Chain A
């Protein structure tokens, strides 16, 4: 199965709807895939850089249309043992704020700050607020409580 089909199956399994080609939906796909790869070890082979809205994969951006099409046609099933665990993680994030895209963006950005950014970032919350001053400190703090234990324990070593 092509990797974009896996992404479509992942989104379906997590109960995430993507309708239409706009920036919001594109951001949601980017952040969910980043979190699945970085925090839950799902190897889809996408490489992420830090872009203006946090982790961004050019390869994934180029496949957005195919992902939507695959979802529209029902999508396949993803054989992956950690779907339930990731769904619980996403549900915990959803309870923090009404705007699913924003919460996912915060979560993925915090995860990238604690895992991939070099030189290492000592305080991901402060760093994210420095980068995105428009975010509410209280929301970022609550997202960090969810992200820290899942994505950031035992990070370090080779960057």
Chain B
């Protein structure tokens, strides 16, 4: 194998290898093995990368663990290339970047994006990024593994937060074309079977350069691969990340989590998980290992058997466990070049219909719900730059031969969901309203 294609520059020794379904052998150095072996990192084995997407795509059971190793590997390949080309000055920096990459998702909650809004809405809030920072700096296992191997946890945090002193390092992990996206598009496309979500990662890496301003850019000859990357992302938003049924199950999980946090507030662990300060305490005591998808599923199963759990919560849990969750009744989603208006007529109408349905069906508030999101596909400031033949670089969004300039800039998701059991009734009422 050519040096660098295994993700390690000459002089950095692998002590272990793991076989990965995307990249083949992933080499691990001694500090990386120490981090992987911590209870905090092992937790990622029990958090699925795509939360409840396996309800729609049965193969989508891959985890944050394999993704984290994949991101580290892609970072290794790209950083080694940049090191060989003189844009990264030392091998130690390649190692630091690999470690930052492997830790970038360590702060995900159980079921990731489904549950994270619960924590973002706390007072004070706790976002996924804040939790990651807390774990790197305060989790005794991760912090000790870093410090024992001579790595400054603050440097790792600075890279993860995009404010490290070497600006190139920030772009590698949090730019439009970053190693996180390169791995998750490949991995999610493979496991869902959505083949048009895949990308040519080797072509992308081979054509990535650094422009005159020190920013990551793609050579003109890599334009096809770059276009494919943006198109793949767009397809994955629509076919997977915002798939109607997957979003429905994530809404359901969020509601169940809120209720279980309230119902079990007298349990010491749940009492801690209800506040940002409590989560902080769990992290600092090195007890985060239990907080994953399986823990939440166990709590849900337990709740079904408990008398104190109200009937409505039980119905929600059954709807999730037995795959009888929300079904879309109306979907006005569409692409757009502008942001979604706050007074969007479609959205107002969906809320109006949801109120009418609740009244006519005499159903509880949870029976009908509206989901609205405004997803940026391309943002002018973030668009990857393309290096032209004269050596200058321009935004891919402005490149005269690029398809990217014709792509929609946003996806507006506007949907009305009804619990599956009530869907036939709701459909009948809806047809009467429309008449």
Contact = CB atoms under 8 A, between A and B. Distances in A.
A156 B45 CA distance: 37
29 contacts: A23-B381, A26-B380, A49-B163, A49-B170, A50-B162, A50-B164, A50-B170, A51-B381, A52-B171, A52-B385, A53-B381, A58-B379, A61-B376, A61-B379, A62-B339, A62-B374, A62-B379, A64-B339, A65-B338, A66-B339, A69-B341, A112-B163, A118-B154, A118-B155, A118-B157, A118-B164, A121-B165, A131-B214, A159-B157
A87 B185 CA distance: 45
A54 to B, nearest CB: 9
Interface of B: 129, 152, 154-155, 157-158, 161-165, 167, 170-171, 174-175, 212-215, 338-339, 341-342, 374, 376, 379-382, 385, 395
Nearest to A47: B129
B381 A119 contact: no
A61 B382 contact: yes
Given A65-B338, A116-B163, A121-B165, A23 B154 contact: no
A82 interface: no
A49 B168 CA distance: 12
Interface in A105-142: 112, 116-119, 121, 127, 131-134
Given A50-B167, A61-B382, 13 more contacts: A2-B342, A47-B161, A49-B162, A49-B163, A49-B174, A50-B163, A51-B171, A51-B382, A52-B167, A52-B171, A61-B376, A112-B163, A116-B163
Contact of B381 (A47, A61, A63, A132): A61
Contacts of A117: 158, 163-165
Contacts of B379: 58, 61-62
Nearest to B215: A52
B5 to A, nearest CB: 28
Contacts of B152: 119
A159 B171 contact: no
B396 to A, nearest CB: 13
A30 B381 contact: yes
A12 B158 CA distance: 33
Contacts of B165: 117-119, 121, 127
Contacts of B163: 48-50, 112, 116-118
Interface of A: 2, 21-23, 26-27, 30, 47-53, 56, 58, 61-66, 69, 112, 116-119, 121, 127, 131-134, 159
A27 B381 contact: yes
B384 to A, nearest CB: 10
Contacts of A58: 379, 382
Contact of B158 (A26, A66, A132, A159): A159
B213 A132 contact: yes
The 9 closest A-B pairs by CB, nearest first: A49-B162, A65-B339, A118-B158, A52-B215, A116-B163, A61-B379, A62-B376, A119-B165, A61-B381
Contacts of A21: 380
Contacts of A23: 380-381, 395
A131 B167 CA distance: 8
A109 to B, nearest CB: 10
Nearest to A23: B380
Nearest to B379: A61
B284 to A, nearest CB: 16
A10 B331 CA distance: 37
Contacts of A51: 162, 170-171, 175, 381-382
A74 B122 CA distance: 33
B340 to A, nearest CB: 9
Q: Which of A22, A26, A52, A116 has the most CB of B within 10 A?
A: A52
A133 B339 CA distance: 35
A61 B338 CA distance: 12
Contacts of A65: 338-339
A66 B212 CA distance: 33
A89 B129 CA distance: 32
B20 to A, nearest CB: 29
Contacts of B167: 50, 52, 131
A56 B381 contact: yes
A118 B87 CA distance: 19
Contacts of A64: 339
Contacts of B155: 118-119
A127 B166 CA distance: 10
B126 to A, nearest CB: 14
Nearest to B169: A50
